[in-house]
Amino acid sequence: MDLLPISRALLSVTDKSGLADFARFLVSRGVELVSTGGTKKLLASEGLPVTGVSEVTGFPEIMGGRVKTLHPKIHAGILADKDNPEHLATLNELSIRPFDLICVNLYDFADAARKELPLKAAVEQIDVGGPTMLRATAKNFHSMLVVPDPAFYRRVQEELADNGMKVTLALRKELAAETFRRISRYDGLIADYLFSHEE
């Protein structure tokens, strides 16, 4: 589809700059917010209605947050092709609601690298769920909008405001490509760190 309506968003970010204003814009236009951990706390503290990921999955965040979004009720909602009736039927059959927008930025592994953290501490800054959601959303850009950085909040807001809370395929494709570039750099940084540090 060319114009994708945005009605449900998942926000899970490390860099929280500008997030409250972005989320407030979405809520003011009827978008339902789902979120995790510290992001959810921030949004709730701003008085914004937000549903926790664990309420969606029916499963708590575990292992100190290592496992929270890796669940079919999240990833089926991200990966469903909205132009595919079989995908939509599967969602309906399993009572899974689709997402339209995923706003994720990653644990700051670059900061861990700058601090020369010991390897055991550094690996705790390797994001797993974040890149997984970003990759899934970017792959499914025909049916999803991925927002990988606060730098894109204003542009997304302007496009949504101009198009009656719909976003163009052109912007979705552009941000998908940008997302894959960022994930590639992130993985490269981690690989370099692992190769250059002893256990």
pLDDT digits (tens, 9 = 90+) for 164-187: 999 999 999 999 999 999 999 999
Q: How far apart are CA 21 and CA 19, in angstroms?
A: 5
pLDDT digits (tens, 9 = 90+) for 34-47: 999 889 999 999 99
pLDDT digits (tens, 9 = 90+) for 141-155: 999 999 999 999 999
Q: What mean pLDDT comes out for the span 68-75?
A: 92
Q: Would you identify the CATH topology of the domain 4-196?
A: Rossmann fold (3.40.50)
CA 21 to chain centre: 17
Looking at residue 199, its pLDDT comes to: 65
Q: How far apart are CA 134 and CA 141, in angstroms?
A: 10
pLDDT digits (tens, 9 = 90+) for 77-135: 999 999 999 999 999 999 999 999 999 998 677 777 777 777 888 888 888 889 999 99
Looking at residue 64, its pLDDT comes to: 78
The radius of gyration computed from the CA coordinates of the chain, to the nearest angstrom, equals 17
Report helix, strand and coil shares of the chain as percent, to nearest 5: 55, 10, 35
pLDDT at 198 over 90: no
Q: Are the C-beta atoms of residues 23 and 44 closer than 8 Å to each other? A: no
Query: Band of the pLDDT at 140, cuts 50, 70, 90?
Result: very high
Looking at residue 1, its pLDDT comes to: 80
Q: Supply the DSSP string of 152-179, one letter for each residue.
A: GHHHHHHHHHHTTSEE-HHHHHHHHHHH
Distances (CA, A) of 84 to 80, 91, 152: 8, 11, 29
pLDDT digits (tens, 9 = 90+) for 16-37: 999 999 999 999 999 999 999 8
Q: How far apart are CA 8 and CA 26, in angstroms?
A: 9
pTM (predicted TM-score): 0.92
Looking at residue 78, its pLDDT comes to: 98
Q: For the chain, give every domain's residue range.
A: 4-196
The token pair at 193 is: 């760190």
Mean pLDDT of the chain: 92
Q: What is the 3-state secondary structure (H, E, C) of 96-125?
A: CCCCCEEEECCCCHHHHHHCCCCHHHHHHH
Residues recorded for the chain: 199
Q: Are the C-beta atoms of residues 19 and 150 closer than 8 Å to each other? A: yes
Q: What are phi and psi of 165, to 5 degrees?
A: 65, 35
Looking at residue 11, its pLDDT comes to: 98
Looking at residue 110, its pLDDT comes to: 75
